[in-house]
Structure 1
Amino acid sequence: MIALNRRKALILGGAAAASALAAPAIAQNKTIKVGALRFTSHSGSFVAVEKGYFADSGLDVELVFFEAAQPMAVAIASGDIDYAVTAISGGLISLAQKGAIKVIGGAASEEDGIDGQIILASDAAYQAGVTDCSKLDGKSWGLTQTGSSFHYVGAKIAEKEGISLSYKPLQKVGAVIGALKSGQIDAWNIVPHIAKPLIASGAVHDIGRVQTYLPGYQLTTVFTSTKNASEEKETTQAFLNAFSKGAHDYNAAMIDAEGGDAAVDAMIDMIHKYVYADQPREKAAPSIVNGTMRINEGAALNVASVEDQLEWFKSEGLVDASVSMGDLVDASYVETIG
């Protein structure tokens, strides 16, 4: 087998997936609800709405916003939403084992040379000597929930540094930010569009990058109910087709700079409707640019990263030891890498 670096694999995988997804898949103006966080890394869905890609695929999409990953997984399982993009969590894995959920594609991922998630320390911790991750031994690490992606990342950093962390679940991203700024927790990891303004304010400090510890990390995935994956194939293909087009346009403008400044400005205008929408455009724009992470072309899925996440959740007793990749992933819709 010929070895591919991550960038080439994503390109080739995206091309193959785009070809597969390009097959006719008309969902007859079906109404679906799509879960998302107000993060720049969820822009594949936002762009697909704004450019009419969902509508062109026969889908009438309502975006439903959440403040953490696990409630989104519950909403998929209950049928309150139909498709979503978020990080893998213990709750999602447990629901997958029960036959309620399937991961069907990849979204944002860490890529060498592109700013990804940043590891932050509170000012109090930084002033006390926590200037890099090796100094975090015995310190507190912010989470939304136990078994969230923040838990996984913190544990992987601790493992590689040979240290221990105290995990503090605070339920919502906003609550974690408040705790970090006030020094109630010592450290946290978060996407760059949130991290960089916090760093610029002086309230927190940059002490590292997640990609140093987890190269190629599949930060977010596309998932749906098992019923949709197995019985609503036309709709699921239509959703992935439109999402992939949105992701392609986002990458082309924001990462590959194919359209120059005009394309970046147009993309910021679209994303601003969903990310930092409560701020004036001129204030929101730098944060949106700062949040740029590649969204996998063709929704290609890094199965090696997903499997590593699954094995960690199992090793920590956060999910049942018998859950398998087959329980979690339906790999029939997109190209897989890793």
Structure 2
Amino acid sequence: MTQFTRRGAMGAMGAAVTLPMLAGPALAQTKLTVGALRFTSHAASFVAFERGYFADEGLEVEFKFFQAAQPMAVAIASGDADYAVTAISGGLISLAEKGAAKVIGGALSEEKGIDGQKILASNAAYEAGMTSPAALDGKSFGITQAGSSFHYMGSKIAAAEGADVTFKPLQKVGAVIGALKSGQIDAWSIVPHIAKPLAGAGAAHIIGNVSDYLPDYQVTTVFTSARNAANERAKTQAFLRAFARGADDFNAALVDKTAGDDAAEDMVKLIHKYVYTDREYEKAKAGIVNGAMRINKNAALNMGSVQDQLGWFQSEGLIKDSITTETLVDTSYVDIM
């Protein structure tokens, strides 16, 4: 886990959002910590930070970076982070059941017509005939932890294909990548900014799209501690407003491509400060652009997808049958899709 902080960041103003804007910062110098992964899909927070949208709301933001969803959820519950963006996991749901965490919005989504998450095969598995998800039976599928989004996606894909799949928990995304490259696992599913460079470098093969199995999948959510949701309403709404402005800028530049070529180039350079930082810009650019999936406007949440995910966790015996969407989501903050 690494940290990065910048205070008082100011920049160009983005497109207006329908969430109500404050006339001026009502929360001057309010410090908060935002959990993130170094993924293009977390760009709304990065944009809000770099372009001063958090500062406009009186928020002084520090980032904490993680390598998997579950540790981020634990950090929110313990107070080590205030807000975060990540996939729904068994750990997050369990924390919500204990009254420690709440989902307050939606972020990354699969959307028809937008190139989304890919299903990958290792070179060894591909050469042995696994050239489509229909050949998953008897194969191994990499996940970070049991109950992770990777587990959910892999299970739904396998069920649709009638395949018996072995899931291998490897704890970190980097470890899953290494296992795929070395042939220790046969398959994986991941966002395009990781999948396409792996395939382009000859380290794996793309054999399908997650959206073919999970259309309109709510990939990631915005969440916070139950304490923040209940007792820090002004701060939480301020965070969501700034996040939504960042998402609007990102979508206009790289998803809808309505902001022009210069704006797209500026956006990629901004994201490169956080994603593929170990690569030169020209080598990182394609991977970042390839990761440009929709981030929901106004942090809207696809409740149908959330319900489907809860149903899967329950069917696998990973959470209690008594848990409902109300357990997980504070709908008082949510623009429901």
CA, structure 1 residues 106+311, in 2 after alignment: closer, same or farther (shift >3 Å)?
A: same
RMSD after superposition: 1.3
Q: Which amino acid aligns with 1:148?
A: S
Q: Which amino acid aligns with 1:79?
A: G
| Alpha-carbon distance between aligned partners in 1 of 2:295 and 2:130, rounded to the nearest angstrom | 32
| Partner residue, 2:257 | 257
| Partner residue, 1:4 | none
Which consecutive unaligned segments of at least 5 residues does structure 1 have? Answer: 1-14
Question: Displacement, 1:23?
Answer: 5.1
Q: After superposition, where does 1:146-161 map in structure 2 within 5 Å?
A: 146-161=146-161
| Alpha-carbon distance between aligned partners in 1 of 2:108 and 2:47, rounded to the nearest angstrom | 14
| Partner residue, 1:136 | 136
| Partner residue, 2:18 | 19
| Partner residue, 1:76 | 76
Q: Which amino acid aligns with 2:64?
A: V
1:181-204, Cα deviation, whole Å (9 max, x unpaired): 100000000000000010011121
Q: After superposition, where does 1:1-338 map in structure 2 within 5 Å?
A: 18-22=17-21, 26-337=26-337
CA contact (8 A) 2:19 2:298 kept: no
Which consecutive unaligned segments of at least 5 residues does structure 2 have? Answer: 1-14
| Alpha-carbon distance between aligned partners in 1 of 2:271 and 2:298, rounded to the nearest angstrom | 20
| Alpha-carbon distance between aligned partners in 1 of 2:157 and 2:80, rounded to the nearest angstrom | 35
| Alpha-carbon distance between aligned partners in 2 of 1:325 and 1:153, rounded to the nearest angstrom | 19
Does 23-32 or 74-83 show the bigger shift? 23-32
1:84-139, Cα deviation, whole Å (9 max, x unpaired): 00000000000000000000000000011111100000000001010000100010
CA contact (8 A) 1:21 1:240 kept: no
1:142-193, Cα deviation, whole Å (9 max, x unpaired): 0000110000000100111111110000000000000001000000000000
Bigger share in helix: 1
| Alpha-carbon distance between aligned partners in 1 of 2:172 and 2:120, rounded to the nearest angstrom | 17
Q: Give the number of equivalent residue pairs.
A: 322
| Partner residue, 1:8 | none
| Alpha-carbon distance between aligned partners in 1 of 2:256 and 2:110, rounded to the nearest angstrom | 16
1:269-296, Cα deviation, whole Å (9 max, x unpaired): 1000000111111111111101110100
Q: Which amino acid aligns with 1:82?
A: D
| Partner residue, 1:6 | none
Amino-acid identity (%) = 65
CA contact (8 A) 2:123 2:203 kept: yes
| Alpha-carbon distance between aligned partners in 2 of 1:260 and 1:18, rounded to the nearest angstrom | 19
CA contact (8 A) 2:17 2:248 kept: no
Question: Displacement, 1:331?
Answer: 1.2
Q: Which amino acid aligns with 1:208?
A: G
TM-score, normalised via structure 2 length? 0.94
| Alpha-carbon distance between aligned partners in 2 of 1:302 and 1:221, rounded to the nearest angstrom | 10
Question: Displacement, 1:254?
Answer: 0.5
1:226-256, Cα deviation, whole Å (9 max, x unpaired): 0101110000000000000000000001112
3-state secondary structure, aligned to 1:301: coil
| Alpha-carbon distance between aligned partners in 1 of 2:175 and 2:22, rounded to the nearest angstrom | 44
CA contact (8 A) 2:22 2:57 kept: no
TM-score, normalised via structure 1 length? 0.93
| Alpha-carbon distance between aligned partners in 2 of 1:189 and 1:26, rounded to the nearest angstrom | 42
CA contact (8 A) 1:104 1:223 kept: yes
| Alpha-carbon distance between aligned partners in 2 of 1:212 and 1:27, rounded to the nearest angstrom | 44
3-state secondary structure, aligned to 1:163: coil
CA contact (8 A) 1:69 1:148 kept: yes
Q: Which amino acid aligns with 2:156?
A: K
Question: Displacement, 1:22?
Answer: 2.6
| Alpha-carbon distance between aligned partners in 2 of 1:167 and 1:322, rounded to the nearest angstrom | 26
Q: Which amino acid aligns with 1:19?
A: T
Q: Which amino acid aligns with 2:124?
A: A
| Alpha-carbon distance between aligned partners in 2 of 1:38 and 1:204, rounded to the nearest angstrom | 21
Q: Which amino acid aligns with 1:111?
A: E
